[in-house]
Structure 1
Amino acid sequence: MGVKLRKLRAERGLSQTALAQALGLSPSYLNQIEQNQRPLTVQVLLKLHRALGVDIQQFSEDEEARLVAAMREALADAPEPVALPELQEVAAQMPALGRALLALHQRTLASQEQLETMVARMGDDRSNLAVPRAMPFEVVRDFFFANQNYFDEIDRLAEALATDAPAQGAALVDWLGLRLHQRHQIRVLQGDAPNQGKRQFDPAGRTLRLSAALSASQQAFQLATQLALVEHGAVIDALVSVRPLQDDAASRTLARIGLANYFAGALLLPYTRFLQAAERLHYDIDLLGQQFDVGFETVCHRLSTLQRPDAPGVPFFFVRVDRAGNISKRQSATHFHFSRTGGTCPLWNVYEAFTQPGRILPQLARMPDGRSYLWIARTVSSHTGGYGAPQRLFSVGLGCDLRHAPRLVYARGLDLRDPAAATPIGMGCKVCERTDCLQRAFPFIGQSLQVDENHSRFTPYGVAP
């Protein structure tokens, strides 16, 4: 932390004495912090935030762990293995170098995809096929990930509006409809139209039609999303005016929708009131859903956004998967990292949840780097249409670092101090270096295979020394 503080001071052009005065500290005390002889406490971090407007997230050890995990994946197939202590030193002492390395890795992956597409097109007369780039949803996912899934201005705007709005239910729906009509001349209609979906807005006719299949809280969410787009469009546009969003219209539009949905969630579950309830109820998701009249997935999603600098909640990782292992949602306020290319881990409890629908399953899990987590997972489903219509079924997972586990009701009855109680999982088979995993589907790309026709192993894919 001392290195980061010295770097910050140099960037601001401040002497040690000047920064000490700004923080209300003695120069000798500040010098000890910069030399890592004293810890950088929460109180000093808050003083930095107030005095210099510094984002204290940059001093987070979680951010370092996130960078280390991403570099481990990027360098998994490096000609010479890079030891974990080296990566940790880069993340702590030279984070800009680490981020540049990740950017180069992403460009390499993109170039490989382009090359594969060009090779596939050789001799093909469909010359108008576009060379693939990162898909818009991947760009938007990385945008939210880079912001730790928290957008302060959007969150505070929603919370300020929530102080004037009714708490929930039909009253909130009526209030939002009235605001849209009075302030923006938008008329809200109920009832399904062909190919409508949940929400359909006609800018020319200034009408907003909501599906009759939505519950009161779902209607309120869709109305709040539309309100964000028309009332706070300038704020949203400013947030998405960054690269690479500004280079692609589809990515930029998806990001606008994502931020509008963020606003809607923050309006239904206002930050301060929701965080206080979460702490009081020990993050019991069912009780929070009952208090705020929202579903299990909505509560989990909101819990992953509670990272206001002066009042943070537990930093959660939120994920939604289907039976085939596809991740359709992934939001993180922490450093937890899963591979982009290697799939996920079959030992993770989000997949076991499909075998016990509707039941919350807790799991202590340990990653290859030794960090342990508390995970909970449960299935969520929805069904629209009549007999024979397909049902949407997902498993939702919510996890946090083990040091936060005592704050959660789901830690009751678990031995948090026993390392053997944690299930060993990984980021994905292709980038997981565990050699003793019976569930491995692919070999680790960071080491050579050991193939021996005279030796049959219990674990697949032996690794050469």
Structure 2
Amino acid sequence: MSKAFMGVRLRRLREERSLTQAALAQTLGISTSYLSQLEQNQRPLTVPVLLRLNASFGVDVQIFSDDDEARLVTDLREALSDGAQPETVSVAEMRELAASMPAVARTLVSLHRRHRDAVERNEAMAARLGDEWIGDAPARMPFEQVRDFFYARHNHIAALDDAAERLYADAGLAPRTVHAGLSAWLATRHDVRLVFDDGDQAQRRFDPVSRTLHLSPDLKQGQQAFQMATQLALLELDELIDRLTDDPSLRGEEARTLARIGLANYFAGALILPYGDFLRVAEEARYDIERLSRHFGVGFETICHRLSTLQRPDARGVPFFFIRVDRAGNISKRQSATDFHFSRVGGSCPLWNVYAAFARPGQVLTQLARMPDGRTYLWIARTVGRGNGGFGIPGKTFAIGLGCDVRHAGRLVYAKGLDLSDPDAATPIGAGCKVCERPACAQRAFPPIGHALAIDQNRSMLTPYPVT
């Protein structure tokens, strides 16, 4: 932060508040000439000035965050490397644009997404030719809108965390007593009766007429408590969830309904693992997931998902990225409290340890992984399984990945034995073959977008799709 040049953002902030340079300089306790130098990127924005901005205007420091800039650079790389541009834009130029003119950069990203939406709509229309066709298919899938809804908030919903902590205290809950406590709260406050229905295929089904909550007996106690907490969110926080989902990024009732479920699930995790208590124990345990699982009586996946939400401004945990994949490489969950994310174009990287976890079920694997931009991450991966409900009924197996920037790795027990300072210790991975810039990767599945292939029928290379 001591070398952050954020002149355009500072000038925009001043203009949005209709302040002159002299007025803002007086508020911040600096000279007008010094403020002018800051706005012209002749001097870096220092931590003391940033703290005064926060104190005077309640400015969210994230708008001056390097992490936000890295997110924007990643999105720009995706937008400007799809092969449609007449000129190649260098990563250095993208970084300059993201740092100096973030609003322009976000507009370019938005225009590209609108273009991609139109292309996807045309493809969907073409796929329907010859069938009964409905012309107004949605431009983007509802689940993508919901994913971006959480991503834009760094996977942290403060209002739900606060509500969960209040209810945790009011209901007298404690680790490993949540199941009984929630059962009693639902009965006394909402006249809801629990039924463990072996014949119901649903994990949770609520009948509002009979006030009956049906839960699957195949679920473990922690999972049953999570389902009870989810239903409680829909009973007690209906108005708050409605306000949160009244967002222009959620287009259509299907997207808003999916977002409601996602927010109810967020509240459930926040209620079972209340923010303050959970963060304290996590720090004491050096983020040992299995220790946290035993302490709170919930599963590995639930702990990992909660760890990815600890971004309260005055009490931040390690900013994690959370992902869940199946054996086929399908990503069914993806949440980020940090700037790391895989591209929406194509799949993810086969060199990533989240896929190796399937070969060693139940074991925690660690990996230092370096992205093409030079950033290195510590990744933890492990499989989780869900048993079947009887003979002949297939179960589920997923791999969970939890990662953070290497600068936070020292706070984690999983850094033991790893040389965090050795750049050669990291596995080079990418954001998906179609946008990955690593030309010598033997695992490449698709040619990179925006590059001409070096095709030579008289030469065979170990690396698929060599580029010029």
SS of the counterpart of 2:434? Answer: helix
Q: Tell me: CA distance 1:400–1:68, structure 2 relative to 1, closer, same or farther (3 Å).
A: same
Q: Give the alignment partner of residue 135 of structure 1, picking from 135, 138, 141.
A: 141
Q: Tell me: CA distance 1:184–1:16, structure 2 relative to 1, closer, same or farther (3 Å).
A: farther
Q: What is aligned with 1:183?
A: 189
Aligned counterparts, 1:7-406, within 5 A: 7-16=12-21, 18-19=23-24, 22=27, 25-27=29-31, 34=39, 35=41, 37-41=43-47, 45-76=50-81, 77=83, 78-122=85-129, 124-128=130-134, 131-164=137-170, 165-169=172-176, 171-185=177-191, 187-192=192-197, 194-245=199-250, 247-406=251-410
Alpha-carbon distance in structure 2 between the residues aligned to 1:50 and 1:235: 28
Alpha-carbon distance in structure 1 between the residues aligned to 2:169 and 2:35: 41
Alpha-carbon distance in structure 2 between the residues aligned to 1:415 and 1:36: 37
SS of the counterpart of 1:370? Answer: coil
Alpha-carbon distance in structure 2 between the residues aligned to 1:333 and 1:110: 26
Alpha-carbon distance in structure 2 between the residues aligned to 1:54 and 1:44: 12
1:398-455 residue CA offsets vs partner (Å, 9 max, x unmatched)? 1111111111111111111111111110001111111111111111112011111111
Amino acid at match of 2:375: R
The answer to which of 325-334 and 304-313 deviates more is 304-313
Alpha-carbon distance in structure 2 between the residues aligned to 1:178 and 1:238: 28
Q: Tell me: CA distance 1:445–1:179, structure 2 relative to 1, closer, same or farther (3 Å).
A: same
Q: What is aligned with 2:461?
A: 457
1:68 Cα deviation after fit: 0.5
Alpha-carbon distance in structure 1 between the residues aligned to 2:245 and 2:17: 26
1:254-312 residue CA offsets vs partner (Å, 9 max, x unmatched)? 10111111111111111111111111211111111111111111111011111111111
**2:198–2:217 CA contact under 8 A, matched in 1:** no
Amino acid at match of 1:199: R
Q: Tell me: CA distance 1:423–1:132, structure 2 relative to 1, closer, same or farther (3 Å).
A: same
1:30 Cα deviation after fit: 5.6
**1:33–1:40 CA contact under 8 A, matched in 2:** no
Amino acid at match of 1:396: I
Identify unmatched segments of 5+ residues in structure 1: none
SS of the counterpart of 1:190? Answer: strand
Q: Tell me: CA distance 1:92–1:120, structure 2 relative to 1, closer, same or farther (3 Å).
A: same
Alpha-carbon distance in structure 2 between the residues aligned to 1:36 and 1:270: 45
Alpha-carbon distance in structure 2 between the residues aligned to 1:177 and 1:46: 45
Amino acid at match of 1:167: A
Identify unmatched segments of 5+ residues in structure 2: 1-5
Q: Tell me: CA distance 1:270–1:16, structure 2 relative to 1, closer, same or farther (3 Å).
A: farther
SS of the counterpart of 1:393? Answer: strand
1:174 Cα deviation after fit: 3.0
Q: What TM-score results when the alignment is normalised by the length of structure 2? A: 0.92
**2:200–2:216 CA contact under 8 A, matched in 1:** no
Amino acid at match of 1:408: L
Alpha-carbon distance in structure 1 between the residues aligned to 2:87 and 2:94: 13
Q: Tell me: CA distance 1:196–1:48, structure 2 relative to 1, closer, same or farther (3 Å).
A: farther
Q: Tell me: CA distance 1:262–1:48, structure 2 relative to 1, closer, same or farther (3 Å).
A: farther
1:159-194 residue CA offsets vs partner (Å, 9 max, x unmatched)? 22222332133x322322333333333x12221164
Alpha-carbon distance in structure 2 between the residues aligned to 1:190 and 1:81: 61
1:141 Cα deviation after fit: 0.5
**2:365–2:380 CA contact under 8 A, matched in 1:** yes
The answer to which of 176-185 and 257-266 deviates more is 176-185
Amino acid at match of 1:101: L
Q: Tell me: CA distance 1:183–1:45, structure 2 relative to 1, closer, same or farther (3 Å).
A: farther
Amino acid at match of 2:407: R
**1:198–1:211 CA contact under 8 A, matched in 2:** yes
Q: Cα RMSD (Å) of the superposition?
A: 2.0
1:129 Cα deviation after fit: 6.8
Identity %: 58
Amino acid at match of 1:323: R
1:99-120 residue CA offsets vs partner (Å, 9 max, x unmatched)? 2212211221221122223334
Q: What is aligned with 1:447?
A: 451
Alpha-carbon distance in structure 2 between the residues aligned to 1:324 and 1:181: 42
1:50 Cα deviation after fit: 4.4
SS of the counterpart of 1:318? Answer: strand
Alpha-carbon distance in structure 1 between the residues aligned to 2:36 and 2:413: 41
1:195 Cα deviation after fit: 3.8
1:46 Cα deviation after fit: 4.9
SS of the counterpart of 1:79? Answer: coil
1:388 Cα deviation after fit: 3.1
Alpha-carbon distance in structure 1 between the residues aligned to 2:10 and 2:186: 47
SS of the counterpart of 1:340? Answer: coil
Alpha-carbon distance in structure 2 between the residues aligned to 1:182 and 1:18: 57
The answer to which of 89-98 and 139-148 deviates more is 89-98
Alpha-carbon distance in structure 2 between the residues aligned to 1:90 and 1:71: 9
Alpha-carbon distance in structure 1 between the residues aligned to 2:405 and 2:126: 44
1:47 Cα deviation after fit: 4.7
1:38 Cα deviation after fit: 4.6
SS of the counterpart of 1:208? Answer: strand
1:22 Cα deviation after fit: 4.8
